[in-house]
Amino acid sequence: MSKQIAVVGQGYVGLPLAIAAAEAGFSVVGIDINRDLVKALSAGTSPVGDISDAEIAHAIARGTYCASTDFSLIADCEIAVICVPTPLDSEHRPDLSALESAVHSVATYLSEGSLLIVESTIAPGTTREVVAQIVGSDKNIEIAYSPERIDPSNKQWNIRNTPKLVAGLTPSATDRTVDFYSAFINRVDRGESVEVIEVAKLLENSFRLINISFINEIAIFCQKLGVDVRDVIKAASTKPYGFMPFFPSAGVGGHCIPVDPSYLSAKAHEIGAPSRFIDLANDVNRSMPTFFAGIALGKLGTLAAKKILVVGIAYKPNVSDMRESPAVELIAELRSRGAEVSWHDDLVGTWAGESSTPLTADYDLVIFVNPHPGTDISLLGTAHVLDTRGGY
């Protein structure tokens, strides 16, 4: 196999895809506008935990992968895949600026009859109404949508064994996209239309947001009732059907769960459809940092001049990703009430000009958000602990 492909965006989504395709025999150029990232990749250094330095170095040595900031290399590629972030703006509205910029840059160099695949999370209709309009019809470019399903640090499910959803704007685009992914993914499923797959992606993570927000409300109920929500979840999980366990937290974070439902909600408002469950779930999720600041206040009597340590500030264990992490709002809320807040996270290391603080017992309160499995909590000694994951 010698097909040349380009993967635009070399982060948590694009890099695993690029390396998997390279290992399958494709000739892959990973394109990113971040020059420091490209320099690190070219030196065989991985920026994400799911891909090792050795995997990158091996692909480079084989000549099946290279990293570049040069979009003109797309001119030699039969397939281009866009894996750029589609976050929310400061008012929690969908921000497609990175995607639109990437599509414009890619479209400039796409060759006649090539295939463009979008993996970024988007609202229904975006592939047809935005991406296709930017690309135009001059070069007969075929376009497909296949949403990413990357779960960083998940040791069971990865890019190869997680089923892939695919739909093209034409049957030919669908066929070509299925053929591409089937070279390195075990199962590839065709959708009835790109809109079906666009909504399916948003449904997956809206389902998770709603259920996590729901269990956070149940956890508050259990706290007031005087029972441990973790025991309740364990008991309910004995039912072999009709129940799926979700777990409480200080709020969901990352590039998917707190973001994707807002794309669905925004589209719902645009077309006049209800999205009350999503809107309520977002409200509950975003209120959790304030709720836990209130719990801390109840434990200490006052937060003014109190020394508080937040442990695990990444959005989930075993990653260093701070995107949409609830710890950010929790720290800000505690500080706004006068607390002297430090944080500990070995994987994050540095954030917002601050550094991770060593674990000691010298705090009025320690708050667990997302401690990593290797965190030695015994170093906290007899410090009072508030665990946002339950039992508070």
Cβ proximity of 150 and 134 under 8 Å = no
pLDDT on residue 255? 83
Q: How far apart are CA 23 and CA 343, in angstroms?
A: 39
Q: What are the phi and psi torsion angles at 315 (to 5°)?
A: -75, -20
pTM of the model: 0.93
User: What domains sit in the chain, N to C, each tagged with a CATH number?
Assistant: 4-191 (3.40.50.720), 204-387 (3.40.50.720)
Structure tokens at 266: 């925004």
Average pLDDT, the chain: 95
Condensed to tens digits (0 to 9), the pLDDT of residues 308-342 reads 999 999 999 999 999 999 999 999 999 999 999 99
H helix runs in the chain, sequence order: 14-23, 35-42, 53-62, 97-109, 126, 132-135, 171-182, 194-225, 229-236, 260-271, 276-300, 326-336
Question: Checking DSSP bridges between strand 79-82 and strand 115-118, what pairing results, if any?
Answer: parallel
Cα–Cα separations (whole angstroms), residue 226 to 160, 192, 236, 389: 44, 49, 17, 16
Q: How far apart are CA 262 and CA 284, in angstroms?
A: 14
Condensed to tens digits (0 to 9), the pLDDT of residues 86-125 reads 999 888 889 999 999 999 999 999 999 999 999 999 999 9
- The one catalytic residue among 77, 83, 222, 256: 256
pLDDT on residue 1? 46
Tell me, yes or no, if 66 is annotated catalytic.
no
pLDDT on residue 91? 87
If pLDDT is split at 50, 70 and 90, which confidence band does 2 have?
low
